[in-house]
Amino acid sequence: MAEKTNKAEVEATEAKTAQAPVISEAQANPEKFLTDFNWHNYQEGIDEVEDSQLKEFEKLVSENFVDTLDDEVVEGTVVHMTDRDAIIDINAKSEGVISLNEFRYNPNLAVGDKVEVLIDVREDATGQLVLSHRKARVIQAWDRVIKANETGEIVNGFVKCRTKGGMIVDVFGIEAFLPGSQIDVKPIRDYDVYVNKTMEFKVVKINHEFKNVVVSHKALIEADIELQKKEIIGQLEKGQVLEGVVKNI
């Protein structure tokens, strides 16, 4: 009886083994495979590499490493922080560094946080990868501003200060110009009442050459007035008696 039981267990084990997918060394431990790979021999053609191995190697590289030659915004993870810098892992050959000054808006930055970065210097004098969070934010902000201009999306902006002929508004981290004539449908004499306020705007003009953005609050008011006018006109009927107010004589 015991022999039959042992035989059944062996057969079951063999069946499971036969059904289990074959996993290569590279798939089982990709980090070790990439670390141990002989780059010199591969480049010099000393070691012959089978097509299947080469394809698997290229796949692992693409999945595990970021190409630092691309001027793209990538996501990184804060892995260490010093008194002056944040060390960011972007899955490149080495970790990058960003000055904490670029995170002044986020005093609660901590290890493990995800941040958007742009590769600023691929290799400094010490061989360090230098990243920029500020530039990544600017690029993303410009993408959002351009999209808002194309789609007519209403955006929120913070009125920072008064300037000659209008106001300076922070939109997605970019300073935009709000002309005095575009604040309201009626003339505005005191611009200061709008400073330090968050308002809704429409992006009406972008100068890509000089990186200038013009926004308008008046355009939103005019759109609302036009909508109200259409609704009122739509309710009017011939012969209808209405009350009105004398506006001017």
Which of the listed residues 41, 64, 87 is the one where a domain comes to its end? 64
More confident residue, 29 or 178: 178
| Mean pLDDT within 147-165 | 92
pLDDT at 225: 87
234 within a domain of the structure (yes/no): no
pLDDT at 148: 92
Q: DSSP for the chain, please give it.
A: -HHHHHHHHHHHHHHHHHHSPP--HHHH-HHHHHHH--HHHHHHT-S---HHHHHHHHHHHHHH---TTS--EEEEEEEEE-SSEEEEE-SSSS-EEEEGGGGTT-TT--TT-EEEEEEEESS-TTSPEEEEHHHHHHHHHHHHHHHHHHHT-EEEEEEEEEETTEEEEEETTEEEEEEGGGS-SS--S-GGGGTT-EEEEEEEEEETTTTEEEEESHHHHHHHHHHHHHHHHHH--TT----------
What CATH number is given to the structural domain containing 191? 2.40.50.140
> Mean pLDDT: which of 3-17, 40-54, 76-90, 128-142 is highest?
76-90
200 within a domain of the structure (yes/no): yes
Query: pLDDT band at residue 19, thresholds of 50, 70 and 90?
Result: low
Residue 14 pLDDT exceeds 70: no
Domain that holds residue 128: 73-137
pTM exceeds 0.75 for this model: no
pLDDT at 146: 92
pLDDT at 199: 93
